[in-house]
Structure 1
Amino acid sequence: MSPATLDTKLAALAGASPAQLREQWLEVTRRPLPRVSPGLLRLALAWELQARVSGGLPRRVSQKLEQMAAAKTSTRDIQPGMRLVREWNGKVHVVTIAEDGAIHWNDRAWKSLSEVARTITGTRWSGPAFFGLKTKAGRAA
């Protein structure tokens, strides 16, 4: 869908009847109709249409929203300047987060905390959980 077509579809939502909105929801999403007001359905349709053009939310944002909705765990984001320290099998491991957000451990840059945790332990770990950034909801981090 081109940006011009998107603009036309978004403008048409303003004058659409509730029946037209419901029909368009089913056509666009192929998901069950949510039980919301026509105004909210109009906004949801607008988001769906725009997400198709722009690709939607980044994976990390979607994961964070799902985690918040489940309310079971909470994960602090890494910040430039952080030093994460973890003892594993009698050895202390220090990970630093550079100003550009790069993750450094053992004189090397890593793609993720999980990659570092996996290398340290030899098993699959959630990096945020391994370094204490992911906690059960209700606990202080």
Structure 2
Amino acid sequence: MDAQLSRPDLVDAWIKAYGGPPPKRLSTRLLLYACHYNLQAKDGGGLKKSTLRQLKRYVPASPGTTTVNTGTPVAHKPGVGSRLVREWRGKTHMVDIEENGFVYQGKPYRSLSAIARAITGARWSGPRFFGL
């Protein structure tokens, strides 16, 4: 695809490739990249089925819809009595989940983020640090 195409030409290419007009505020450069990508995908036989399945989870069901199924799984929250185990810099760290919070190295904590900070010395999302 020629980088010298005008915006109207790129919009026409977008409509042919994607079946509808591009977002109003999409830059000309991004429009060019998207159209170019579409051509590359077609030349390579299209997207893999697994990629198409993933994309469908994030795309509205029809052009008129406004909601998107993000496919985000429901967060699994371990219950009271569970133990979280995380290895950090060669050391294994264990956190017990109790009624009123968490216990790490015998000390009570109100949040996993506070424990992650105690372990790393930096601010972390506690659930992210422990893989939740």
Give your verdict on TM over 0.5: no
Pairwise TM-score range, normalised by the shorter structure: 0.3 to 0.5
Report the structure, 1 or 2, having the larger helix content. 1
- Give the alignment's TM-score, normalised by structure 1: 0.41
> Which entry has the higher C-alpha Rg, 1 or 2?
2
- Give the alignment's TM-score, normalised by structure 2: 0.43
Comparing both chains, which one has the higher relative contact order based on Cα–Cα distances under 8 Å and sequence gaps of 6 or more?
A: 1
